Structure formats: C-alpha cells, structure tokens
Amino acid sequence: MIDFLKQWLERKKRGGIDIGNLPNPKTIGKQPLVTSRLIVLDLETTGLNPAKDQMIAIGAVAINNNAMPLDDQFDLILRRPELDIRKTVLIHGIGPEALTAGHETEDALLHLLDWMNGDPILAYHSAFDQKFLEKTLRAELGYGENHIWLDVAELMPAFFPTANKQRKGLDNWADTFGLQASARHHAAADAMVTAELTLIALNKAAQQGIHTLAQLSDKLRYQRRLRNMQRF
Amino acid sequence: MAAASQDQNRPQNTRAVMAFLKNHPPFSNMEEDHLAHFAEHSTLRFYANDEVVLSTDDGVAKQFYVVKQGRIRGERLNSRDDRTETTFEIGLGDCFPLAALVGERSTRTLHRSVGDTFCLSIEHDAFVSLFTQSDTFRDFCLRGVSSLLDQVNQRIQSGAMASIGSNFTLDSPLERFALRNPIVCTPDLPVRKAVARMHENSVGSIVITDDNRHPVGIFTLRDLRTLIAEEKAPLSASIRQVMTPNPCSLLAKENAFAAAMLMAEHHFAHICVVDDENRLIGVVSERDLFALQRVDLVNLARTIGTATHLRTLVSLRADVSRLVDSMLAHGADSGQIVKIITTLNDVTVRRVLELNIAKNDPGIPFTWLAFGSEGRQEQTLLTDQDNGILFTTPEGMTEDQVREKLLPFARIVNDELAECGFTLCKGNIMASNPKLCLSGAEWDDWFVRFIDASTPQNLVYSSIFLDMRAVFGPGESLHELFQTALKRIGNNPLFQKMLAGNAFTRKPPLTMFRSFRYVNDGKKHALDLKRQGLAPFVEAVRVFALANGVGAANTLERMDELARKGVFDPKDANAWKEAYSLIQAIRMRAHNEMLENKEPLTNYIDPDDLNPLDRRILRESFRQAQRLQQKLELAYQL
C-alpha cells in the first residue's frame, strides 16, 4: 500500500495523469483476499435515474490485509449545489497540493481511477453506483474499461443468512452490528460503514474457508441463483 | 476560524475518527494537530467474538490500539495451576497495550476480543512521534504504565523512556551518562594550565590521574572559586596542592541511581566512572543525571545540607514533595523513591543537629539513632519521629550528668524537626526521652532486658528498636551494640518464636474468599496500607532477618540478604519484594494525591477508588503476604 502511494505520488509530481497510462482493472482470479486491495465506494447523486441524474460526490476507502487504513481513502465532492460551483470539485485526502478548490471534474476522475488502481470495487447495491460511475467516466473521459464490482448487499446475507431477513437497507445492516455512520447520506461516511460491514463479512468468509477472490465471487453467484430459485 | 477551515479540509472519515477520539481520554485533552496525526495514521480492524487480537508470541509490541467498538479481554496463564485467568476487560475508547509498548517488549497478556469488536491502531512510528510531541499522550501512556508499576518490569519501563521519551532514567548504567574521554591531567600540572584545559573543552571539571590512569584527584570550577576567593594558592601552584584528593568513583556498570544517591549524600557534583581495575573511563556530573528535571535531587540535598536557618529547612520541605512527584512521573520505582525521601530526611536531620551544635554545643560525643521506618530507610512523606541518642560518657562524668546536658539539646532538636514536618512521636520514642538517651552500656542492658522478658510492651517495641541505624555521629559503637544484640537473639529461640507469634497476628487484609477485609474502626471500606498491607511483610521479614544474623534494617535489603543466605527461595524473595514494593507504590501515589488535594496525609485507601487492575494487583500482593506468613508459621510451628 505504502509503495503504491509512493509510486502514485511520484507520478503526480511528474505532472497530470495521462489517460493512456491508467492502471488496468484486475480480473477475478485466485488472488488471495487477504493481500488484495479492495475499494469500498459510495456515491451521492442528484436522484435515482442514471439517465437523468448526476453524481455529486464520491467517497471511498480501501481495504488491505483485512484492515482499513485511513491514509488510503478518497473523499471527493464533484459539485456542491449550494455553492453552485459547476465543473469544479473539491478533493480531499489525496495530498495537500490537491486540496486547493477548483479542480476540473475530468482531473478528479483521473485521480480516482489512478487511486483505485484497477482494484475490485465493493458497494452497497453496487449496480446503482456502477451505472452512475461508468456513465460519468464515459461521458467525461471516454473511459470504457470494466472494473470488478461486488455487491455488499449480497455479501451480507451470504454470510449472515439469518440476520435481517425482512429489512434490506444499509442502515439495517449497520444497526444489526451496532455500527453508526458518522454523517447521514454522506458518501464517505456511508463508504466507511459499508467497509466496516465488508470487514465483518470477510472475517466470516475466512472462517468458512473462503480465501480467494474467485471463491468469494462464486459464493455470491451461488447465493444469487439460490435466491432466484426461491423466487419461483 | 483557521482551525475550522482546516477541519473542513480533512476527509469526512478522518474527521469522524477524530470526533470519536475526542470523547475519550487522553484524546479529549490532546491538541487538534496531534489528534489529526493519530486519525490520519490509524487503521481500522475487525475482530469477531473470541479472536486473538494480540498474543504474547507476537514479539515486541508495535501497534497502539484503541477499542472503537466491542470489548477486549486480557488473559494470563497462571503457571501454578495451568489455568487461564482474566486480568482485565476494557471497552469503548480504552487503549492497549501500554506497558508493552512503552517497555518495548512483547505483551505478557493475551488480548482477546469479546463480541464483535473494531479497533483503531497506529503503527510504532506514529506512536513514537505522538509520544514525543504530545505531553498529554505521553503522560497518559506513562501513567498507564505506572499503575502497572510493579507488575511490569520497571527496568524495561525506564529503559524505554530513555529510548523514546527523555534521557532520564535512574536505572541505566552509568556508562550511558558518563562523559567519555574526560579531561585529565597529571598531578604536577600548574593550576593555570589545568583551568585553561577545562576552558578549551568547556567542561566544569578535570580529573587528575596517575600513570596508570587511576584517578587521584578532581578539580572543579567550584574549587577554583574557593581557591581564588580564599587565596589558598597561586595559579602557578601544581594542581596536586589544590585538588580534592581520592575522588569518589563508581564502576561503569553501576546505575545512575547509585551515583545520584552518592552525590546527594556527600554533596559532590562529579563522580569518576572507572572500570574493574579502577582506570578512569569517564566523569558523570549531576547535570548529566538531572538534565531534564525540574527539581534536582543533588542540588536539593546540597541546599538542605548547607541551609543556615531553620526556616529555610522548613521551606525546602515543599521541594521534597515536588521532587517525589516528578520522580513518580518519571517512573522511578517505589524502592528508589523511599530511599530518596530517606536520604533527604537524613540530610535535614543532620543539618538541624549541626545548626544546633553550632549554636549550643552540648560538648558530648553522641550518635543520633533512627528507629522504625526511618531506621529501615522506608520513610514516605507521612513520617513521624522515632529517634534516640547513644552517647559515650566522658571521663569523670556520670551518665545522668551527661543526660542533663544532652536532653535539653535533644528537646530543641525534636521540636525543630517537628517544625520541618517530622511529627512528634505520640509514644514519645524520641531522643529527648531520658529512657532513650543512653550510653553504650545502658543500651546493652536495655537490650538484654528487652530480649529476655516477653512483655506485651516489649513486643510493641520490637517493631521499633530492632530496626535501627545511625543518622549522625560515629556508627561503630552502634554497630558493636547491634551485633551483640543479634547474637543474643540468634541464641534465644524463645524470643524468636515470640517475635514470630507477634508477626503472625498481623494478618493481611483478605478474607477467606479473597475479598478485602476492611479496618473495623468506623471506616467502612478503608484499608490501612501501612498497618494491614506493609506491616505483615516488615514484621515477618524482621523475624527471619534477626534470627539469621542479617544486620540490614531495610526490608528489601533484608529479603535480598535472606535469599543470599538460602533462607528464602530466590523466586519467593522476588515475588515478596515485588508485592511489598507495589503496596508501597500505591500508598505513595495516594499520599501524593492527598497532598495535591490539600488533604491531611493518611495511610487509608478505599480499594473501590482504585482501578480494577490495581485492585487485582493489590489483592495478589496481599496473597503474597499470606504466603510469607505461612512460611513463618511453618518455621516456628505457630
């Protein structure tokens, strides 16, 4: 992680990030979960319709070695309606020189892709975040690569099938484990709670002998099939 | 405003971690910058129920943890019955492992999660930088350790302070303090040249050595001042004529504490450090030892020892308690602190005597005796007078005539000591009591009667008069007297058994079910740490010491000596020393708190006021006292 940050800072010092030079998204394989860096992400949007609505903020943390280091996070506000700064962003947590307000959206998204390093992305109801993010990336950067996406809303019932049978929201899962978001509907705060749930699920996964990304992905796929069968 | 805008620039999750920390000490009192440093360098981890968070096999502790959710249980293996026992349980906002981190060792307690648990941790680098930068954080970590004081190895603890905090530690060997390649010269060098050499090297002292590098003298700036002021010799004289011959020296492997005590006792500012063959290796000055201290021991001892008025002595007592405070803060152990207090008390007593002799010399050579805790060198801030006089009867005088001269003198000394804070003895065990101002022959008679008769009063006396030492005046006559008394006790099994029986009545304050037994006199939940806690050790150890010809009066020294003589198993001796020191440490901490709150000093504490860990340690210490008493029971078939 430290090495990665160093390299990243090196590249940053040399100037802006080149779109042709972004890290390639990883593919699902036998990489051990313990040593894989995972991105846990949450978006704030102006509404629920990816065709119409816009992304306002991105909050993300990383999980590495079954732990969440706070010096490896991404807290980005794309547009603040109350401030009416169009095409201007505030970037948090990626070094003091980036802290000055007034980065272009394009620039910020390049930083995000660079920071994500092509690592697997987890989100709660990930389909929603995936649609918004991919749409924005395509529109702003013409970027079309596919990251691995895993849904924490599937992850939790897969490992804790008896908990939360009726209620399915992030808040319900947080309540079940006594977690509390530090701010309501704040991308970064929600990402943190999602990551905390992920840590709990990964702990359980290790106990059940699930050690690689492929095993985890299989388990989720199996659960999905099981659920679909139950529906009929 | 600046702080607020800076806060806005921090990521939400960093701010959230800071907000969490702010609800818990020590973070609640830490500066914003230091909190941010902690938050930005922290890592969040999850542990399911009953998972090992930190193991004794993990090696030297590297991470500092804060419980963010859930609980952590400490487990230790009890080697005696091979059972695991829970030593503590901590929760939200609590930190661990303090002692291991500060002591730079692995933890001795297995840390296990209880329920779903999240912990924030920082790596060693971040810990060290916070430890050095934040006073609040450092105090917290060290205080956390000092409450574990005698459970953890104090040597490791103070060694750690040298490496991460300050350079101050009294347990470090002198070679770490001593100036290497000290400035030296031969005895025939003219004073002027020697001083020039000191000046060139900006040092305050020069050691005069012979051809074999053995130190033969020392010359300091203070000596130069006297030399010039009193016109003792011309600057062209050889240094041999003006140096202080036979300078005080210590081996390099001895610790700073030994040097500090030597300086405090003799008012030296410099001590030569030598190797096994008495060759000079370095010089250590009081400045080297006390560079970081507010009140320095050597200087304080010197100020007391040269005070010219009683009122100065009285006012210096406040400095003594401040020194004890800072010693406690620096992690000195309770054994060292009682010795420091005793040394400073001795200096005060001597100075009061010297001032009175200068004013009104009774003209009789005498030795000032200290009994009881002062005799054992185990005084704390709460101390009363237990003293007496041993005099030599000048030819042509009767003992009563001598007393006529000495008693009024002793009366004044007792009163003045009372002004200095040494409470007058309620039982009149004081030098101004005609029964305790005796010649050698009279004292010997007194001991014969005392050892041969087993009256209840004599048993009370045993705890006072069998722990004695000379504070002022020649010590040989006392040594002789005491050796004779030791021989008598050694040959008198009945007296020993009587002493043992008496010691056995001092039961440690534990009930059959290992809960605390409180004092009965109206104080509902009070333990008397002196009479119920320390006395069982002191009394039992005294019986063994006297029966086995151990001349030392200090309880810890007696235990060492008894272990050397094979009377105590070394492991037992260590456990008992630790337990005894721990009770002493808790007592001293309580005294300092009472002083801070401007309450009168007492030896009572309510165990409910202690933190759970201290309570456990206290209980374990009392259990050790029970074991010591069992040994007594066995040895004397009580």
B475 and B343 share a domain? yes
B356 and B210 share a domain? no
| CATH code for position A105 | 3.30.420.10
B279 and B132 share a domain? no
Among A159-173, B484-498, B500-514, the minimum mean pLDDT is found in B500-514
Among A10-19, B321-330, B493-502, B613-622, the minimum mean pLDDT is found in A10-19
Nearest CA in chain A to B9: A92
pLDDT at B413: 95
Mean pLDDT of chain A: 81
> Do the chains contact at A199 and B44, CB–CB below 8 Å?
yes
Range of the domain at B328: 312-482
Residue B449 contacts A where some CB pair is shorter than 8 Å: no
Whether the bond between B97 and the residue before it is cis, its omega within 30 degrees of 0, is: yes
pLDDT at B256: 76
Among B59-73, B75-89, B190-204, B407-421, the minimum mean pLDDT is found in B75-89
Q: Which residue, B482, B512, B533, sits at the end of a domain?
A: B482
Nearest CA in chain B to A99: B9
By C-alpha distance, which of B614, B517, B610, B607 is closest to B88? B614
B572: Cβ–Cβ under 8 A, 6 or more apart, which residues? Answer: B627, B628, B631
Among B87-101, B192-206, B536-550, the minimum mean pLDDT is found in B87-101
B336 and B472 share a domain? yes
Contact B387, B374 (CB under 8 A): yes
Q: In angstroms, rounded to a whole number, what is the distance separating the alpha carbons of residues B572 and A208?
A: 48
What is the nearest CA distance from A98 to chain B, expressed in angstroms?
11
Nearest CA in chain B to A60: B13
pTM score, whole prediction:
0.48
pLDDT at B163: 32
Q: Count how many domains chain B has.
A: 4
Range of the domain at A17: 2-231
Residue A90 exposed, middle or buried by CB count within 10 Å (0-12, 13-18, 19+) = buried
Neighbours of B376 (CB within 10 A): 26
Length of chain B: 638
pLDDT digits (tens, 9 = 90+) for B171-180: 667 776 666 6
Taking contacts as CB-CB distances below 8 angstroms, the residues of chain A near B17 are: 70
> Do the chains contact at B44 and A66, CB–CB below 8 Å?
no
pLDDT at B89: 77
Taking contacts as CB-CB distances below 8 angstroms, the residues of chain B near A204 are: 48
Q: In angstroms, rounded to a whole number, what is the distance separating the alpha carbons of residues A169 and B340?
A: 65
B609 and B531 share a domain? yes
pLDDT at A232: 57
> Do the chains contact at B116 and A178, CB–CB below 8 Å?
yes
B550: Cβ–Cβ under 8 A, 6 or more apart, which residues? Answer: B544, B558, B561, B562, B565
B352 and B463 share a domain? yes
Taking contacts as CB-CB distances below 8 angstroms, the residues of chain B near A178 are: 69, 116
Averaged pLDDT, B397-410? 94
Nearest CA in chain A to B18: A182
Contact B259, B271 (CB under 8 A): yes
Is there a domain that residue B154 lies in?
A: no
> Do the chains contact at B13 and A182, CB–CB below 8 Å?
yes
B102 and B197 share a domain? no
By C-alpha distance, which of B335, B327, B381 is closest to B590? B381
pLDDT at B571: 84
Contact B150, B333 (CB under 8 A): yes
Choose the most confident range, by mean pLDDT, from A119-133, B5-19, B312-326, B341-355. A119-133
Residue A100 contacts B where some CB pair is shorter than 8 Å: no
With a cut of 70, say whether residue A99 has pLDDT above it. Answer: no
What is the nearest CA distance from A147 to chain B, expressed in angstroms?
24
Averaged pLDDT, B253-260? 78
pLDDT at B494: 86
Looking at chain B, the whole-number percentage of residues with pLDDT higher than 70 is 86
B276 and B350 share a domain? no
B275 and B230 share a domain? yes
> Do the chains contact at B12 and A196, CB–CB below 8 Å?
no
In total, the C-beta contacts within 8 angstroms joining chain A to chain B are 77
pLDDT digits (tens, 9 = 90+) for B9-48: 788 889 899 999 998 878 888 889 999 999 999 999 999 9
Residue B43 contacts A where some CB pair is shorter than 8 Å: yes
Please, where are the H alpha helices in chain A? 2-13, 105-116, 126-141, 152-159, 170-176, 187-207, 213-231
B299: Cβ–Cβ under 8 A, 6 or more apart, which residues? Answer: B286, B290
Q: Count how many domains chain A has.
A: 1
Q: Which amino acid is at A200?
A: I
Nearest CA in chain B to A96: B9
With H, G, I as helix, E, B as strand and everything else as coil, classify residue A186.
coil
pLDDT at B515: 63
Interface mutation target, options B12, B20, B117, B122, chain A, most CBs of A under 10 Å: B12
Residue B39 contacts A where some CB pair is shorter than 8 Å: yes
pLDDT at B373: 84
Residue A68 contacts B where some CB pair is shorter than 8 Å: yes
Q: In angstroms, rounded to a whole number, what is the distance separating the alpha carbons of residues B405 and B385?
A: 21
Q: Which residue, B429, B456, B482, sits at the end of a domain?
A: B482
Residue A66 contacts B where some CB pair is shorter than 8 Å: yes
> Do the chains contact at B17 and A73, CB–CB below 8 Å?
no
Place of tokens 């960093």: B14
> Do the chains contact at A70 and B19, CB–CB below 8 Å?
no
Angle (CA) B495-B500-B504 rounded to 5° is 150
B268 and B335 share a domain? no
Taking contacts as CB-CB distances below 8 angstroms, the residues of chain B near A200 are: 46, 48, 116
Nearest CA in chain B to A76: B11
Q: Which residue, B290, B322, B345, sits at the end of a domain?
A: B290
B178 and B137 share a domain? no
pLDDT at A95: 34
What is the nearest CA distance from B99 to chain A, expressed in angstroms?
24
pLDDT digits (tens, 9 = 90+) for B341-391: 888 888 899 999 999 999 989 989 999 999 988 888 887 776 788 999 999
pLDDT at B162: 36
What is the nearest CA distance from A203 to chain B, expressed in angstroms?
7
Residue B285 contacts A where some CB pair is shorter than 8 Å: no
Facing residues of A55 across strands? Answer: A45
With a cut of 90, say whether residue B423 has pLDDT above it. Answer: no
B349: Cβ–Cβ under 8 A, 6 or more apart, which residues? Answer: B368, B370, B387, B417, B422, B471, B472
CA A161 to chain centroid, in Å, comes to: 23
ipTM of model: 0.84
Residue A183 contacts B where some CB pair is shorter than 8 Å: yes
pLDDT at B320: 79
Contact B551, B515 (CB under 8 A): no
Choose the most confident range, by mean pLDDT, from A154-163, A189-198, B546-555. A189-198
What is the nearest CA distance from B3 to chain A, expressed in angstroms?
15
A161: Cβ–Cβ under 8 A, 6 or more apart, which residues? Answer: none
